[in-house]
């Protein structure tokens, strides 16, 4: 069995000309026809680990290799890293199934930089800080559901753009709570409990929107309905089961969930129309954007370039700075 976690090579470190014998996750598998039909098919894989993904090709024995490769499971791959059209590709010589239980999903997925105990403790403190008895009851019921707390702490917040790692949903949600509560100190008219509860739950639909076993990807329900609607559905269902939950308060909470993307063009079915919804929508954007900037800048820090490549989602280049004057790492 190739090297364990600590000493194993990562995709981001591989260089052309390097021979590898390591375990990676098969994210996609296809058999492609050669241009010359007489040659049959070759195997095309997309392999991933916690640092990224790369294509792999197997030219000989593709069909028998494909038959023993399971998608979204780890696979032992032996071959040579080559450069093809300026991108690295693994030329496979041999693949081998990996015994069940030899690896854990977190060996191949990026994980939160925060200590899980610290995140769980912060979540607990915030839930307990909600004084309103109905909102407190709602949080209590939700986190008492079997598996809910673990899922909330483990789920990613995205597939790629920001907080796209195990624990990302909790990191992002707690960031949004902290940003929103900071705003509440400046604007005392804001309902602090509604804000805290709404910020904690604004993305709760992501628990159903993503699956994150070996690879992070959308579920069918996630792709079809989206986390805004899934979150609305979950919370609306719980509210109807809490005796005497004040109707207007429930509506304000549901409105906050439905409007948290701020604009219809960003996926919000309604725009924010309450103070708390406006604060959460801005805090959500601030948390996501700031992380995205960090991520893009960090990826370009060691390239020797003053500017990042053009980012299509942000529709701009970001300024990395002159070499030797590039600000702080991390966060």
Q: Which of residues 182-241 bind Fe ion (CB under 5 A)?
A: 203
Q: Are 237 and 229 in contact (CB under 8 A)?
A: no
Residue placing its CB nearer to Fe ion in the complex, 193 or 284: 284
Residue placing its CB nearer to Fe ion in the complex, 49 or 284: 284
Q: Which of residues 100-159 bind Fe ion (CB under 5 A)?
A: none
- For the bound state, the minimum distance from the C-beta of residue 95 to Fe ion, rounded and expressed in Å, comes to 38
Residue placing its CB nearer to Fe ion in the complex, 108 or 212: 212
Q: Which of residues 13-42 bind Fe ion (CB under 5 A)?
A: none
Query: Which tokens belong to 240?
Result: 């109807």
Residue placing its CB nearer to Fe ion in the complex, 168 or 250: 168
Could you give the residue ranges of the DSSP H alpha helices within the chain? Answer: 62-67, 116-128, 133-144, 148-154, 168-186, 192-201, 206-209, 220-240, 247-259, 275-300
Q: Are 176 and 204 in contact (CB under 8 A)?
A: no
Q: Are 114 and 148 in contact (CB under 8 A)?
A: no
Residue placing its CB nearer to Fe ion in the complex, 77 or 201: 201
3-class DSSP state of 67? helix
Query: What mask, x for binding Fe ion by CB under 5 A, covers residues 242 to 261?
Result: --------------------
* Binding residue count for Fe ion, defined by CB under 5 A: 2
- For the bound state, the minimum distance from the C-beta of residue 281 to Fe ion, rounded and expressed in Å, comes to 9
- For the bound state, the minimum distance from the C-beta of residue 156 to Fe ion, rounded and expressed in Å, comes to 12
- For the bound state, the minimum distance from the C-beta of residue 299 to Fe ion, rounded and expressed in Å, comes to 22
Q: Are 205 and 154 in contact (CB under 8 A)?
A: no
- For the bound state, the minimum distance from the C-beta of residue 139 to Fe ion, rounded and expressed in Å, comes to 18
Residue placing its CB nearer to Fe ion in the complex, 208 or 284: 284
CA distance 247 to 254: 11
Does position 171 interact with Fe ion (CB under 5 A)? The reply is no
Helix axes 275-300, 247-259, angle to 10 degrees: 30
Residue placing its CB nearer to Fe ion in the complex, 171 or 203: 203
- For the bound state, the minimum distance from the C-beta of residue 57 to Fe ion, rounded and expressed in Å, comes to 37
In 3D space, the residue among 70, 83, 67, 74 whose CA is nearest the CA of residue 48 turns out to be: 74
In 3D space, the residue among 226, 275, 241 whose CA is nearest the CA of residue 255 turns out to be: 275
Residue placing its CB nearer to Fe ion in the complex, 9 or 202: 202
DSSP per position, 71-125: TTSEEEEEEEEEEETTEEEEEEEEEEE--TTSS-GGGTS-B-SS-HHHHHHHHHH
- For the bound state, the minimum distance from the C-beta of residue 161 to Fe ion, rounded and expressed in Å, comes to 11
Q: Which of residues 276-295 bind Fe ion (CB under 5 A)?
A: 284
Sign of CA dihedral 205, 151, 158, 90: negative
- For the bound state, the minimum distance from the C-beta of residue 249 to Fe ion, rounded and expressed in Å, comes to 22
Q: What residues line the site for Fe ion (CB under 5 A)?
A: 203, 284
């Amino acid at each position: 069995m190739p090297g364990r976690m600590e000493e194993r090579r990562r995709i981001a470190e591989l260089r052309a000309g390097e021979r590898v014998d390591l375990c990676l996750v098969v994210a996609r598998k296809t058999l492609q026809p050669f241009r010359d039909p007489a040659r049959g098919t070759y195997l095309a894989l997309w392999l991933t680990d916690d640092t990224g993904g790369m294509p792999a090709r197997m030219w000989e024995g593709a069909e028998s290799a494909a038959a023993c490769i399971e998608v979204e499971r780890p696979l032992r791959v032996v071959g040579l890293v080559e450069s093809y059209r300026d991108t690295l590709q693994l030329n496979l010589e041999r693949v081998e199934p990996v015994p069940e239980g030899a690896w854990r999903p977190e060996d191949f997925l990026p994980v939160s930089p925060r200590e899980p105990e610290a995140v769980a403790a912060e979540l607990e403190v915030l839930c307990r800080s909600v004084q309103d008895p109905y909102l407190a009851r709602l949080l209590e019921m939700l986190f008492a559901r079997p598996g809910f707390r673990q899922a909330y702490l483990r789920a990613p917040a995205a597939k790629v753009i920001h907080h796209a790692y195990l624990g990302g949903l909790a990191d992002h949600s707690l960031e949004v709570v902290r940003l929103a509560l900071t705003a509440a100190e400046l604007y005392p008219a804001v309902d602090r409990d509604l804000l805290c509860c709404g910020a904690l739950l604004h993305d709760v639909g992501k628990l159903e929107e993503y699956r994150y076993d070996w690879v992070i990807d959308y579920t069918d329900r996630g792709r079809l309905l989206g986390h805004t609607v899934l979150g609305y559905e979950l919370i609306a269902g719980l509210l109807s089961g809490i005796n005497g939950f004040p109707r207007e308060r429930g509506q304000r909470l549901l409105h906050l969930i439905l409007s948290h993307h701020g604009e219809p063009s960003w996926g919000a079915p309604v725009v924010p129309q309450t103070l708390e919804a406006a604060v959460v929508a801005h805090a959500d954007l601030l948390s996501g954007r700031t992380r995205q900037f960090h991520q893009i800048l960090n990826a370009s820090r060691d390239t020797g370039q003053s500017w990042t490549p053009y980012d299509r989602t942000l529709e701009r280049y970001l300024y990395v700075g002159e070499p030797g004057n590039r600000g702080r790492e991390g966060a």
